[in-house]
Structure 1
């Protein structure tokens, strides 16, 4: 495993990096020029903006049906905002991470998802199926409520309030920066099967996997979810305890150990990235781990992270 990890102990942050972010240019992981795909770790950011909008609009709640924004979507008169936030919409449509070779606008990506959902089979509303489509639909709701793009909302609601310097949507990564290359290792040869996130792929998943950041910046996002910069503690509790939840997942995070831990994992199809965050809910201890070389085994990646967590606070964290 190679990548960059923010290690948080008693509220103090140290970033430790190993290996190359771009082997061909000998650009090391942790270099100031490098950002990493957050993959599904972006979902809590999208969810947080939805909770902000619920706060700002008294007529909205977790129970609001999404038919007002998606009248042609199957079951939209039964699916609530909360269902999307908890993956309990019953939506099972796939192919959101199969690169279609086309650079989508936000609006076109969302329209494609609606059509794709309608063309696929669905389960009963209330049934849990982890699915990018739920959060792409949420990105579309943000657009429709505000009359501004997801991109503009991200800048105004997340990046600017937190003063993030190394967090971008894919299309906004500056020329002076680069996104990391992913590599595969079977424990023997390193830096095999090089791959990177193509713009056409990133453009397909607005709100669900097109955000790039660094471990240190992403930790600031996690802190901002509770300290009032993005959400208050009350808002974060609302986000992570939605009434539609059927397991530990709500609003982009899993809560464990009587709500003392928050976790999320992300990857991208056919690439070798692995992103994992596990923090105490007071944000005082834990890790943000962005790997760019893996053996494509989620559990093996988490084992590496858990070894680090055991050094931080033994007995505090969970292995999965």
Structure 2
């Protein structure tokens, strides 16, 4: 039986205010210790907001320092409606940060089928699910998870007006992949199509939709309240608008994520959440709520891995740091996560105003990382 996650927002708030440890065991704090913790929280908030203002970016950020996550938001999620980033009703697209979620569900299903003596692992060829896909007999599940399949359609993020069902998005991906020549198998060639096909495998193996699997395997075990696919977004929630800034005026060139655009990126860019709930997901990947530590190591160290990328994350510094970056073509969103392997320090940054330069966004994040834990992280 999987143990339940101990990460709860209430616990985090207590940790911030009264020095409760993230393991749920209260520290016996003296008044001066509580005052110091409160002062440190305010100081960090001031630094992060100042750094964002200096670089003309806006968004919602979770900064984790010594096991305590703190949400720090700056600017508007909707400038017209004066709804601030970090508002409880606001959610953000994750872009490619979703890929670790899709990869984790694949590993869960592998483990379940192993218990019933069914063969499904990283070496299973994908013609089992996609007999009409060219080269499917040569492509393994591990190839999809590490972007070494050779699949390379260039039109996975097009502003189409049609809203696709899950099955239609998968069929379109197979058809589009067949229109392009395949790269040499075994070489790293990042492409959303790999994870859209993984979403298709999840559907076929379970007989349930990707959304149903997301709720059952991720949302429910972690008691998440603001994590959905775009198609399942409730009316009570609002997707942050994206804005452009060239270092001068703010909230320019508004671009809103549409359900039609998101629907083509099943499993690869159609997930909405908050930075705090994404942090909960990261914790769940190794504490037994979503995956065990052993399963996480399997996912992030697949045999087909040829770069630092495996299963949705870049694992660097000899396994001490995990990194993911995401955006959505034609929008001004920028999403960046960099955490220590134990989730005790790091940053999850969901920006909705940028100048569309990933290097600049990462530079902002790295400055914050250096402030909380110098010498621990990477500027990329």
Q: TM-score, normalised by structure 1?
A: 0.99
Q: Which moved more, 1:111-120 or 1:52-61?
A: 52-61
User: Equivalent of 2:350, from 290, 298, 302?
Assistant: 290
User: Equivalent of 1:54, from 110, 115, 138?
Assistant: 110
Partner of 1:31: 87
User: Equivalent of 2:124, from 58, 64, 69?
Assistant: 64
- Structure showing greater radius of gyration is 2
CA distance in 1 between partners of 2:288 and 2:334 (Å):
29
Partner of 1:8: 64
CA distance in 1 between partners of 2:64 and 2:222 (Å):
18
Greater helix percent: which structure?
Answer: 2
Is it true that 1:20 corresponds to 2:80 in the alignment?
no
User: Equivalent of 1:244, from 304, 307, 330?
Assistant: 304
Partner of 2:207: 147
Runs of 4+ aligned residues of structure 1 deviating over 3 Å after TM superposition are none
Is it true that 1:272 corresponds to 2:332 in the alignment?
yes
List alignment gaps of at least 5 residues for structure 1: none
CA distance in 2 between partners of 1:317 and 1:34 (Å):
29
Q: TM-score, normalised by structure 2?
A: 0.84
CA distance in 2 between partners of 1:175 and 1:151 (Å):
17
After superposition, give the CA deviation of every residue in 1:150-172 in whole Å (9 maximum; x if it has no partner).
01000000000011111111122
- The aligned length equals 320
CA distance in 2 between partners of 1:255 and 1:75 (Å):
28
Instruction: Give, in angstroms, the shift of residue 177 of structure 1.
Output: 1.2
Partner of 1:41: 97
Partner of 1:193, secondary structure, is strand
CA distance in 1 between partners of 2:74 and 2:365 (Å):
13
* RMSD over equivalenced CA pairs, Å: 0.6
Instruction: Give, in angstroms, the shift of residue 56 of structure 1.
Output: 1.1
User: Equivalent of 2:315, from 250, 255, 261?
Assistant: 255
Partner of 1:312: 372
Which fold has the larger relative contact order, with Cα–Cα distance below 8 Å and residues 6 or more apart in sequence?
1
Partner of 1:186, secondary structure, is coil
CA distance in 2 between partners of 1:174 and 1:147 (Å):
24
Instruction: Give, in angstroms, the shift of residue 129 of structure 1.
Output: 0.8
CA distance in 2 between partners of 1:176 and 1:247 (Å):
41
Partner of 1:77, secondary structure, is helix
Instruction: Give, in angstroms, the shift of residue 218 of structure 1.
Output: 0.2
